[in-house]
Amino acid sequence: MFRGISSINLDAKGRIAIPTRYREELQDCCERQMVVTVAVDDKCVGEAGCLWLYPLPEWEKLEQTISKLPTLNKMAGKLRRFVIGHATECEMDAQGRLLIPEKLRDFAGMDKHIFLVGQLNKFEIWSDAAWQAKEQEWLDGSDTEGLEELGSLSF
């Protein structure tokens, strides 16, 4: 389970260093084999998007779910082309680094400073600017879509 937020940097080659606290779990759960793709939920799509980073076993579950969608459904086709089409397998090296493909970095508007956000079974990878803007939107309370569905949730 991945939780928490980490401010990290892209190096000159487009690699990120996975924070040390996640490395052992990633070794155990997926032998450092991961998949990165574009994110398609509403909180990540906009002027600059974000990316999803999955351990390979979690990615394979998502692929199975997507593969069962009706092939003639337009939205399912878009989802397959977008999420599966942009998916790139990547391996965390011995130093904990992971190469983010240039096309995906461009999609998410990433430069040097980025955020890695744990989302239980995956990570989100945000550019600094996109994360700061989205965080401010959440803090301002202007993003309340779906709030009624959480009515029974208590902390």
Q: Is residue 146 part of a domain?
A: no
Q: Which one, of 76, 30, 24, lies nearest residue 53 by Cα?
A: 30
Q: Is 98 left (phi over 0), alpha (psi -120 to 50) or beta?
A: beta
Q: Is residue 29 part of a domain?
A: yes
Q: Kindly tell me if the per-residue pLDDT of 109 is higher than 60.
A: yes
Q: Are 37 and 52 in contact (CB under 8 A)?
A: yes
CATH number of the domain encompassing residue 18: 3.40.1550.20
Q: Are 137 and 44 in contact (CB under 8 A)?
A: no
Segment 89-110 shows an average pLDDT of 95
Distance, in Å, from the CA atom of 124 to the CA atom of 68, rounded to the nearest integer, reads: 24
Q: Is residue 153 part of a domain?
A: no
Q: What is the pLDDT of residue 40?
A: 85
Distance, in Å, from the CA atom of 14 to the CA atom of 101, rounded to the nearest integer, reads: 7
Confidence (pTM): 0.89
